[in-house]
Chain A
């Protein structure tokens, strides 16, 4: 069973977000980059499945050379090889075209990725890739297993959960709960240095959107403190002034 894991490289979750150049660019000064947490879950589950059924995990990332150290981390965790499409990821549609193009040439039984990246929060990649390749989609899965010829997965739906079965190949996106992320060990880190990280060029340069500028959420005007002795007053304010219930 060969699995393609799609990976975003994102700012660490503790990053304070700021912008530069008149709020048109994300300020990367001092930012630590990590594997997108949901993609890390996909990678771990993919490794568990290939350990059970045989086969390899390939990681694909669309980004510039500065992301290579983070891709090496995915190799250290256990991916057999990595591919970087050498391009600035313009938007989700652009990235999906690169992934679909690469995946069509490979012989993958499964394409796995996180349910969204924590930087642009598109949550669209699994659906875009599935549709471009004409493959079944199971989005936002918290459990995933395979008998080698099909998969069963539990996915989040509005107000509940659903168990879904699909033939292979198919495309899935990982939700929290899928597994515990693996931490690379010393042996993995040593091996990662010599594993292949192939760089390929982007195919189709078109995207349907442009990110023009950014802004931070408006700051709160200040907290109104209520004395703990008269805590009931909070409920009165929410009821009478804010009319929330």
Chain B
């Protein structure tokens, strides 16, 4: 048996979250007495995936694989799964990964576990940890099928670069034609993408109005962070819905989450609670968010945030 990782390419570069998946999956494969095969489809990134621990690299190409499409990509990856006798496929849980995984699981007639944040040492006890109840809890899920697809939440596993280069095996895939037609694509440029951000600065109702978001953006820009907001803020249309983090918005897991003027309702904490370091700035010392925070400042955002911006600019050499 062998273990594979679908490595996602974006704009000619492999995604960082795919390196996390290869690093962790290759350890898991080794401990399970197996090998780890990196699978890329369409365009290739510049780096050698052996560096992250892959034992083999298969590159699939063919008509219909120039850009990501769940159906053609699932067909292509399944070609490799069949020809290499792959039992388990790891996929980073991006939007693309989340569309690809279920199609592949059905083709493999295997199990599917999404939202994975922890893996066992080896497949001798194949029980993984996944998020549930919108990050309010975790579940231990045993994979009982001998075939499986698992999607890993980005920023849950560290990257290891101790492997050595491997050759790329080119494989032609017959993926058929796509069953949906892409009419247009708009990508955000010049801003840190919230779902992939390592640092996030977020604002809530405490900021009093959309005209006061300049300082949130300035702090985010200075730190190289993405901007986010709470549900009331997006409901009042101070900020776009795509910035709403929380139980019914986007769930994020950055290394740093700075919440300004957000009280920390249970639904908000569900979306951001697994951030590695949480800083809360709020005028109300009783705000529930302080209980979930690592660092807190009880104070007025309009006085505190400019001080943060000033110091951040000094550190970054921008002042």
Contacts and interface: CB of A to CB of B under 8 A. Distances in A.
Contact of A228 (B136, B140, B297): B297
Nearest to B303: A228
Contacts of A92: 102, 112, 114
Contacts of A119: 132-134
B93 to A, nearest CB: 8
B289 to A, nearest CB: 9
Contacts of B133: 11, 15, 17, 26, 118-121
B25 interface: no
B187 A160 contact: yes
Most buried by A among B94, B115, B133: B133
Interface residues of B, number: 96
A245 B295 contact: no
Nearest to B305: A231
B145 interface: yes
A126 B294 CA distance: 38
Contacts of B199: 244-245
A37 B310 contact: no
Interface stretch (A50-58, A81-89, A233-241): A233-241
Q: Is the interface of B mostly helix, strand, loop or mixed?
A: mixed
Nearest to A235: B311
Interface in B218-270: 223-224, 241-242, 244, 247-249, 251, 255-256, 266-267, 270
Given A122-B114, A127-B101, A159-B196, A225 B296 contact: yes
Interface string B204-228: 0000000000000000000110000
Interface string B282-315: 0000000011111111111001100110111001
A145 interface: no
B95 A139 contact: yes
A30 interface: no
Contact of A137 (B71, B113, B224, B293): B71
A17 to B, nearest CB: 4
Interface in A201-229: 207-217, 220, 223-228
Interface string B14-40: 000000000000000000000000000
Interface stretch (B53-61, B79-87, B163-171, B176-184): B176-184
A29 interface: no
A146 interface: no
Contact of A220 (B94, B247, B248, B293): B293
Interface stretch (A62-70, A105-113, A161-169, A182-190): A161-169
Given A166-B179, A217-B136, 19 more contacts: A11-B133, A17-B136, A17-B137, A96-B102, A118-B247, A122-B114, A124-B114, A131-B106, A139-B99, A158-B96, A158-B193, A208-B145, A211-B139, A212-B139, A216-B136, A220-B291, A231-B311, A235-B311, A242-B256
Interface of B: 10, 70-71, 74, 94-96, 98-103, 105-107, 110-115, 127, 130-145, 147-148, 179-188, 193, 195-196, 198-199, 223-224, 241-242, 244, 247-249, 251, 255-256, 266-267, 270, 273-274, 277-280, 290-300, 303-304, 307-308, 310-312, 315-316
